[in-house]
């Protein structure tokens, strides 16, 4: 008995549902003869339903793929003999190239807080081709004339970069002043040493003995003078020898004393000498002055 009641209830529900659906009629048709690629085509969608129902048409929130909704136009509800008719015209764009294209739209009706989803009939619309075939011998128009585009500097960006550079420089100057100062002094010390070596090689290319000994002594005096405020080139021979004795970082002090005495003998006693003697002393001069260079670096590091 329970099974008969269940079957009867199910039959009654299906009969009622089919009866309600029979009262709702959807008419969906294309208002154009064919589909043109990329052109909006109007579609008429009207629904005939009993008064008391609510019809929900698809709007722009629905996905119309593979087609695109261009626009839609609603018409006022028409009521006659307890039935109502709602109509909408959809302008749909197709980018498909199928010869026959299928269209179908869903809709829903609401009755006593119950919502039922339905679909319109499927309609088939032919596709109208504008280009039927392509040829390989289509002429191409070549235009290889280049037009020069004037350069327009971005002054706003350049100004921004300039201001950022100034801020970075101020930041480094405030927080890394000692480090930057030490680095600059080390760079200056190294540059002076490299310049001294270059000038020393140039001096030993002189053939004139007087010019050779004069420029050689002037060169190492000037390099030693960069260590303190004293200018050795302005000292007399006696003062120079006394000053050299105070330079504790030079081990072979006698080497520089002999160079000073040799210069005096050449200029005042017209003594002749062999250039090879000084060439043999070149390595010792570089060795002693390299100690001066290392001493200067040490002083900068300890600051």
Domain positions in the chain are: 22-128, 157-301
- Check whether 186 has a pLDDT greater than 50: yes
Q: What is the 3-state secondary structure (H, E, C) of the chain?
A: CHHHHHHHHHHHHHHHHHHHHHHCEEEEEECCCCEECCCCEEEEEEEEEEECEEEECCCCCCCCCCCEEEEEEEEEEEEECCEEEEEEEEEEECCCCCCEEEECCEEEEEECCEEEEEECCCEEEEEECCCCCCCCCCCCCCCCCCCCCCCCCCHHHHHHHHHHHHHHHHHHHHHCHHHHHHHHHHHHHHHHHHHHHHHHHHHCCCCCHHHHHHHHHHHHHHHHHCCCCCCHHHCCHHHHHHHHHCCCCCCCHHHHHHHHHHHHHHHHCCCCCCHHHHHHHHHHHHHHHHHHHHHHHHHHHCC
- For the stretch 257-286, pLDDT in tens is 888 888 888 887 777 777 777 777 888 888
CA-closest candidate to residue 214, choices 286, 264, 271: 264
Average pLDDT, the chain: 81
Percent of the chain with pLDDT over 70: 85
Please state the rounded mean pLDDT for residues 58-84. 87
- For the stretch 142-163, pLDDT in tens is 666 777 878 888 888 999 999 9
Give domain 22-128's CATH architecture: Sandwich (2.60)
- For the stretch 216-269, pLDDT in tens is 888 888 887 766 656 766 777 777 777 777 777 777 888 888 888 888 888 877
pTM comes to 0.42
User: What pLDDT score does 90 carry?
Assistant: 93
Question: Which two three-digit tokens encode residue 258?
Answer: 């002999």
């Amino acid at each position: 008995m329970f099974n008969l009641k269940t079957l009867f209830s199910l039959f009654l529900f299906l009969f009622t549902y089919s009866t309600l659906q029979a009262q709702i009629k959807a008419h969906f048709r294309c208002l154009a003869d064919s589909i043109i690629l990329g052109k909006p085509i109007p579609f008429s969608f009207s629904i005939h339903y009993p008064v008391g129902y609510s019809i929900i048409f698809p709007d722009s929130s629905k996905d119309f793929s593979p087609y695109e909704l261009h626009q839609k136009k609603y018409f006022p509800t028409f009521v006659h003999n307890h039935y109502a008719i709602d109509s909408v015209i959809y302008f749909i764009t197709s980018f498909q190239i199928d010869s026959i294209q299928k269209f179908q739209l869903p809709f829903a009706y609401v009755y006593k807080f119950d919502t039922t989803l339905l679909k319109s009939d499927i309609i088939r619309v032919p596709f109208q081709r504008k280009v039927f075939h392509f040829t390989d011998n289509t002429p191409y128009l070549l235009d290889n004339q280049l037009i020069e585009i004037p350069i327009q500097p971005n002054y706003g960006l350049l100004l921004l970069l300039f201001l950022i550079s100034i801020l970075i420089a101020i930041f480094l100057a405030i927080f890394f002043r000692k480090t930057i100062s030490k680095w600059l002094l080390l760079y200056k010390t190294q540059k002076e040493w490299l310049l001294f070596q270059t000038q020393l090689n140039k001096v030993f290319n002189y053939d004139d003995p007087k010019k050779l000994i004069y420029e050689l002594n002037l060169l190492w005096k000037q390099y030693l003078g960069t260590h303190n405020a004293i200018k050795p080139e302005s000292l007399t021979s006696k003062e120079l020898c006394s000053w050299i004795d105070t330079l504790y970082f030079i081990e072979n002090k006698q080497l520089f004393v002999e160079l000073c005495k040799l210069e005096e003998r050449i200029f005042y006693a017209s003594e002749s000498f062999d250039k090879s003697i000084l060439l043999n002393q070149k390595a010792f001069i570089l060795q002693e002055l390299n100690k001066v260079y290392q001493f200067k670096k040490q002083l900068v590091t300890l600051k």
